[in-house]
Copies of this chain bind each other. A is one copy, B any other.
């Protein structure tokens, strides 16, 4: 046991066990960005799922992005989506399979490269995309509504830059 030790800091005078979150400190997680990202993700994702209940794109990461970008980028390729979703080819196949299964998008073989696919939304997919655009925007707005406006702006700027850096997009 060493630097940031504990096991209750070597068992000093036994304190009574904490029975409320107000008696607790977050240890090193208090200052750990990844902890807060992960925790808030958990909450915001569940809230989003609630808002999209029964919507065929609820749950998990990738379906909303896939639907929206397929709707707004005619013929977008699975490999492009995979990069933006930071997932691999097999994960992308699974997401597309689901959406094809729900009649939201369709696959066509690229006329310029027979290995590649092009993705297109169906009419049903386009309708759902319109709906999801509204819901996803409103959900995020509502979820962070208690945050000061200036903080929301800062947060968006900082996270946007981080995301673009991670996936390899230029930070214009």
Contact = CB atoms under 8 A, between A and B. Distances in A.
Interface in A153-172: 154-156, 158-163, 165-170
Interface centre among A11, A32, A144 (most CB of B within 10 A): A32
Contacts of A39: 61, 85-86, 163, 166
A140 B33 contact: yes
Contacts of A163: 36, 39-40
Nearest to A33: B140
Contacts of A33: 140, 143-144, 152, 155-156, 159
Contact of A27 (B5, B68, B155): B68
Main secondary structure of the interface of A (DSSP, over half): helix
A9 B72 CA distance: 7
A82 to B, nearest CB: 10
Interface residues of A, number: 95
A170 B2 CA distance: 31
Given A27-B68, A33-B144, A36-B160, A17 B76 contact: yes
Give 3 closest A-B pairs by Cβ, nearest first. Answer: A17-B75, A41-B41, A36-B159
Interface of A: 1-2, 4-9, 11, 14-45, 48, 61, 64-65, 68-69, 71-77, 80, 83-87, 110, 116, 118, 121, 123, 126, 129-130, 133-134, 136-137, 139-140, 143-144, 146-147, 151-152, 154-156, 158-163, 165-170
